[in-house]
Chain A
């Protein structure tokens, strides 16, 4: 969150420095103290790199040719081109770059241009597998012919719905059917009638019982009563019984033959049905077969359809339950449940467009189902059922044979989606599986459609952090995404790129139908581009943010009733955007102004300095000064970082403090022990502190405390330091300077106030115009330093001092004072140690004698 530093002492009146002029020598601690000289604040031109509108060479953007695509992204575009041209399935592309950098649009445009070079991919359909219905078959068709097959099958079934009933109602069929029925029926009847006649001739009658047949003696058409029968002679009774028994056997034989006979009858009828059905079916499918004569898979499928139609011709002879009663029209064949198995499910078709070409698909919601496709279900009698017509294509199907763009972050956040995509790339096929099946949660029978070959170039888009995270955490990632297209977030500043930037702005104007911008407005936007890049030598190419600025400026121009957007409109857009976001900055400023947070901007003080921090809140960042103090005493050689002790300091901050120890020991205590105990603290810091940008500031505070030379509080300091005392670059330099400027401005600029920054950060300066104006007016200054010695001289006005031939620093210099103080600590420490040893020796000796020590 924060970067810090610095703390000056109260300046003497003689310390007043005119901005733009060399810092005058300062006398801080009485006579004999050498003054520091020759430190010049940065010139105006170094604070902000302005653009000369006249040098742009146009009056308004309407005169410019809008830029096509991105500027300054040659490396990334080359990588995309390479990835797109590589035919291998594992050379997929990961486009990495900051958000709102326009990479999605650029990739889209780039790939779109390549589509015409790709062959049009085939169509794919799913059809019923008549042998294994739960494994629907995938058929590959030439581009644009899936629809013909879908329509053709509907047409064929429609035709059969008309022709088959007519054929089976026709006299030809009926006559042949009757012949078969008659053949078997008459055979049965004749057998029964013959038996009946034979029984009657023997005075036996055959009666129908609820469950079959029975026989009894008969006389004159009526059954003989049992009591009458019993009066007959026994021989006659026996004879009748025997006759009945014989007849019963005959009847049983006739009945036993019935199932066999019936089976033969059914077989003959079945043959007849198939013969008749085959005529109609072949007639209906012939046209379709001719249309797809070049597609062996389709012909094989049509053969299977034909066989199934013939086998299930009964479907066409039973009226549908859903026939429309009013208009007497048969229900739509495609919706008729009886004929679903003959329909064709078109998964992907490339016909119908005026100029069909390979697909370029961007999946905005890359869930598992949206990517791989899904098998839907419908509720039927309380159960969920499905069939091959309920297979829905996913984006992989739609993009097959072309390009597929996916937001990597969304992909990773969708359960199962990333793994499914990798599986498809690896196996080079799209296999639709239900996530619940994969996790073994569902055991009900579902579909297992044949996989479809997958040949798509996948383009993932994400930020760098995500790319490196994937590369580190997922071994598959590097195997399947071998091309990285790294989008820069900035381009170098040059006259040529300023022109390109202007054309980019012109393209935003055209795309969003905005008012043209005049040259000063464009210049202001280019300057803001450098500011966004945090580098005066760079221009941000975060297209989204630039476009936002242009659109907002257009709004303010409209509010002002202007037909052209001016520099003032751009400035207002920037200010308004800042104001919308800077509530917290105002609060932070207020706490300093009301002395709730103690920050001095005038006077001098020993061991106290103003550091600088940057707070980042979303897209908005601002700087804030903070007091850092240091105290020293004789000790055993330790600098205590209170932030660290309180667990408020981060690792980088701790590292910075440790470097200070190395610097102090290396410069001042080569031949004596470093008998120093020091404490460092960020005053009124209640959150965490991290980063090493405060390390030089802390060192200045330490040097001030050791030398007892006060630091000017009119300065704030930022910069990290190494063990050699060199000041190193930090981040957020503009915000830090502006943060201290705002505090000073609120209290009233004295002309003595300013900020020390590392010299390496001068190239990053793109300060606000009001800050530049204040410097120009001599009210504020920015100093760039390369070493701690330079910095301490500016902060104290006293020469830092160099080590002479005698091995000592110049008398009266800061370094000499520090060295002497440390030697003093060492001497006193040694004396203290001797005294302690002596006392402990006496005490030990007295005890051994059995006498009290003195």
Chain B
């Protein structure tokens, strides 16, 4: 949505807030609301009751280990009741935030496989969707992102938060690796900055000094007289993704916008370092 809506000057779109557990992250929900505010779009809260939980609960030996370490026998009725109550509570929580931000909200609770449920939702009203993952992405779950990009269509970007997510206010950092992505990322960043009162920073990321130089020239040409935008130049040879993640963390960004399949977020790479260091939401664009 971000690229396309921004590119097409559209004012409409949808943020699909994908909730698959009873413990969604506050910063993730808040970030979803900010995106919806920035693009004057609505939020569709999609709480998925994982079918596998029902299958698991059908086993006679099924037990649940609580977060305090105690365990109890689990039945289908138990899991059904727990999911129903959790779903309602989360819907109300999202509703409160959306209402406070004056963002239209639609809530749905579905019983399905989480990925399939998301794919269906995006397919029903695509393609200008942004998927916002409400659950924290553990550092080792990078493969889940790759799966979503590979197996779910109907959306233009994916927002996620790591375990250290703590803010949505601060500079909007757009990591530009190619001049082709500059304009849509820049427009998206400016819209986001309008909502969060942050400044826009463009981080130029290239795989060598010559590439960096070339990219900077192209970007400066494209920016023209937009002097308010701060340019930062990084090279991949300055260090591993961990170093890049640390540089980004030190910028105290409110949002990080990056391109999926590039240097920072490779299509089949490890997101562990980036996700571990991130203190703000990450937008990944197709």
Q: Which residue of B lies closest to A254 (CB)?
A: B69
Fill in one digit per residue for A194-235: 1 if any B CB lies within 8 Å of its CB, else 0. 000000000001011111111110000011111001000000
Segment 163-220 of A: residues with Cβ below 8 Å from B: 171, 185, 189, 193, 205, 207-216
Q: Is A244 an interface residue (CB 8 A)?
A: yes
Q: For A216, give its contact among B22, B59, B69, B140 (CB under 8 Å).
A: B59
User: Beyond A209-B74, A210-B82, is A216–B64 a contact (Cβ under 8 Å)?
Assistant: no
Fill in one digit per residue for B64-80: 1 if any A CB lies within 8 Å of its CB, else 0. 11111111001000010
Q: Is A354 an interface residue (CB 8 A)?
A: no
- Are A214 and B62 within 8 A (Cβ)? yes
Task: Report the minimal beta-carbon distance from B286 to chain A, rounded to whole angstroms.
Answer: 25
Q: For B58, give its contact among A193, A226, A253 (CB under 8 Å).
A: A226
- Are A211 and B67 within 8 A (Cβ)? yes
A193→B141 CA distance, assembly (Å): 11
Q: Is B83 an interface residue (CB 8 A)?
A: yes
Q: Which residue of A lies closest to B20 (CB)?
A: A208
A18→B68 CA distance, assembly (Å): 126
Q: For A256, give its contact among B57, B69, B139 (CB under 8 Å).
A: B69
A253→B69 CA distance, assembly (Å): 7
Segment 150-202 of B: residues with Cβ below 8 Å from A: 163
Which A residues lie within 8 Å of B83 (CB)? 210
- Are B21 and A193 within 8 A (Cβ)? no
Q: Is A827 an interface residue (CB 8 A)?
A: no
Q: Is A241 an interface residue (CB 8 A)?
A: yes
User: Beyond A216-B52, A252-B69, A252-B71, is A209–B61 a contact (Cβ under 8 Å)?
Assistant: no
Q: Is A56 an interface residue (CB 8 A)?
A: no
Q: For A213, give its contact among B64, B79, B163, B250 (CB under 8 Å).
A: B64
Q: Is A251 an interface residue (CB 8 A)?
A: yes
A225→B21 CA distance, assembly (Å): 21
A240→B37 CA distance, assembly (Å): 50
User: Beyond A209-B64, A210-B82, is A229–B59 a contact (Cβ under 8 Å)?
Assistant: yes
Task: Report the minimal beta-carbon distance from A276 to chain B, rounded to whole angstroms.
Answer: 18
Q: For B21, give its contact among A208, A244, A245, A251 (CB under 8 Å).
A: A208
- Are A214 and B65 within 8 A (Cβ)? yes
Q: Which residue of A lies closest to B113 (CB)?
A: A222
A646→B8 CA distance, assembly (Å): 115
Q: Is B138 an interface residue (CB 8 A)?
A: yes
Q: Is B101 an interface residue (CB 8 A)?
A: no
Q: Which residue of B lies closest to A244 (CB)?
A: B61
Q: Is A248 an interface residue (CB 8 A)?
A: yes
Interface residue tally for chain B (C-beta within 8 Å): 32
User: Beyond A185-B163, A245-B61, A248-B71, is A207–B66 a contact (Cβ under 8 Å)?
Assistant: no
- Are B65 and A248 within 8 A (Cβ)? yes
A816→B62 CA distance, assembly (Å): 142
A256→B85 CA distance, assembly (Å): 26
Task: Report the minimal beta-carbon distance from A768 to chain B, rounded to whole angstroms.
Answer: 91
- Are B21 and A226 within 8 A (Cβ)? no
User: Beyond A207-B50, A207-B53, is A189–B58 a contact (Cβ under 8 Å)?
Assistant: no
Q: Is B63 an interface residue (CB 8 A)?
A: yes
Task: Report the minimal beta-carbon distance from A719 to chain B, rounded to whole angstroms.
Answer: 98
Fill in one digit per residue for A234-262: 1 if any B CB lies within 8 Å of its CB, else 0. 00000001001100100111011010000
A245→B61 CA distance, assembly (Å): 9
- Are B64 and A193 within 8 A (Cβ)? no
Q: Which residue of A lies closest to B21 (CB)?
A: A208
The interface size bin for chain A is 20 to 34
- Are A210 and B86 within 8 A (Cβ)? yes
Q: Which residue of A lies closest to B84 (CB)?
A: A210
Which B residues lie within 8 Å of A248 (CB)? 63, 65, 71
- Are A214 and B82 within 8 A (Cβ)? no
Q: For B55, give its contact among A189, A216, A241 (CB under 8 Å).
A: A216
Segment 437-492 of A: residues with Cβ below 8 Å from B: none
Which A residues lie within 8 Å of B97 (CB)? none
Q: Which residue of A lies closest to B70 (CB)?
A: A252
User: Beyond A189-B138, A189-B140, A193-B140, is A212–B56 a contact (Cβ under 8 Å)?
Assistant: no
Which A residues lie within 8 Å of B74 (CB)? 209, 214
Fill in one digit per residue for B18-39: 1 if any A CB lies within 8 Å of its CB, else 0. 0001100000000000000000
- Are B22 and A210 within 8 A (Cβ)? yes
Q: Which residue of A lies closest to B249 (CB)?
A: A174
Which B residues lie within 8 Å of A208 (CB)? 21-22
A224→B56 CA distance, assembly (Å): 8
Which A residues lie within 8 Å of B53 (CB)? 207, 209, 214
A224→B62 CA distance, assembly (Å): 13
Task: Report the minimal beta-carbon distance from A173 to chain B, rounded to whole angstroms.
Answer: 13
A454→B83 CA distance, assembly (Å): 71
A209→B68 CA distance, assembly (Å): 14
- Are B71 and A223 within 8 A (Cβ)? no
Which B residues lie within 8 Å of A213 (CB)? 64-65
Which A residues lie within 8 Å of B138 (CB)? 189
Which B residues lie within 8 Å of A212 (CB)? 64-67
Q: Which residue of B lies closest to A226 (CB)?
A: B58
A215→B70 CA distance, assembly (Å): 14
A213→B61 CA distance, assembly (Å): 14
Which A residues lie within 8 Å of B21 (CB)? 208, 210
**A residues whose Cβ falls under 8 Å from a Cβ of B:** 171, 185, 189, 193, 205, 207-216, 222-226, 229, 241, 244-245, 248, 251-253, 255-256, 258
Supply 17 A–B pairs (Cβ within 8 Å), ascending by A: A209-B53, A209-B74, A211-B22, A211-B64, A212-B64, A215-B63, A216-B52, A216-B55, A222-B52, A225-B55, A229-B59, A245-B61, A248-B63, A252-B70, A255-B65, A255-B69, A256-B69
Q: Given contacts A207-B52, A208-B22, A213-B65, could you give 11 more A-B pairs where the C-beta distance is less than 8 Å? A: A193-B140, A209-B79, A210-B85, A211-B82, A212-B67, A214-B53, A214-B57, A214-B64, A223-B56, A226-B59, A229-B59
**B residues whose Cβ falls under 8 Å from a Cβ of A:** 21-22, 50, 52-53, 55-59, 61-71, 74, 79, 82-83, 85-86, 138-140, 163, 250
- The 10 lowest CB-CB distance pairs between A and B, nearest first, are A210-B22, A256-B69, A216-B56, A255-B69, A212-B66, A210-B86, A210-B82, A226-B58, A223-B52, A252-B69
